[in-house]
Structure 1
Amino acid sequence: MKNIAGKTNPSADEIAEKAASGEDVSLYFTNKGEMKPAVQRVNVDFGVDMIKELDAIAKELNVSRQAVIKLYVRQSLNLHYLARKGMESK
């Protein structure tokens, strides 16, 4: 975003405050972004051995355990859809 009249860009909180007070904040938005779907928290129980494996992988990749879980779930879903697509083409 370009600086407006030499001023630094306001933070998201500052923009929110301006909007809440009724100021026009449309100049801060380009409409080139995309809305991300809401995140829903879930609880999953893992055995101690699986947690140790996940933690070892997370340490190796230098990421959080949550990032490893998300990565592997995404990969598994992708494989599931690819397998389903392959079965449909027969």
Structure 2
Amino acid sequence: MPKTSSKPIDAEEIAQMADQGQDISAHFTNEFTVKRLVQRVNVDFTSPMLKELDCEAETLNVSRQAIIKTMLREALDRRYLAKQARQARQAR
């Protein structure tokens, strides 16, 4: 991998170089990681729902938290796609 550039360069310049198909890897160290803000919340579940979640988590060999986040993400994605489809139909 090429060394990082010693001369500071504007992000817009890097974007233009990339648009022109130039190799811009020298401008990145791969040391940066995106950290998303995590906010803790409390959610109340009924006992039967917790049992279902725990059963799914055990089946997939993941934590309860992981199954909740995964299933919630899937539900939000489905709703988003359905909304996009509705908007596309209305635009016709």
Q: Which of the five TM-score ranges fits, normalised by the shorter chain?
A: 0.5 to 0.7
The CA distance in 1 between the partners of 2:70 and 2:49, in whole Å, is 15
Q: 1:23-66, CA deviations, whole angstroms, 9 ceiling, x for partnerless residues?
A: xxxxxxx2453312110000000000000000011111110000
Listed as ranges, the matches of 1:1-90 within 5 Å are 30-90=29-89
TM-score w.r.t. the length of structure 1 is 0.64
* 1:82 to partner: Cα distance: 0.1
Gaps of 5+ in 2: 1-28
**What is the distance in 2 between the residues matched to 1:84 and 1:69?**
22
Structure of higher RCO (CA pairs closer than 8 Å, 6+ residues apart): 2
- Scaled by the length of structure 2, the TM-score of the pair is 0.62
Identity of aligned residues (%): 51
Structure 1 unaligned spans of 5+:
1-29
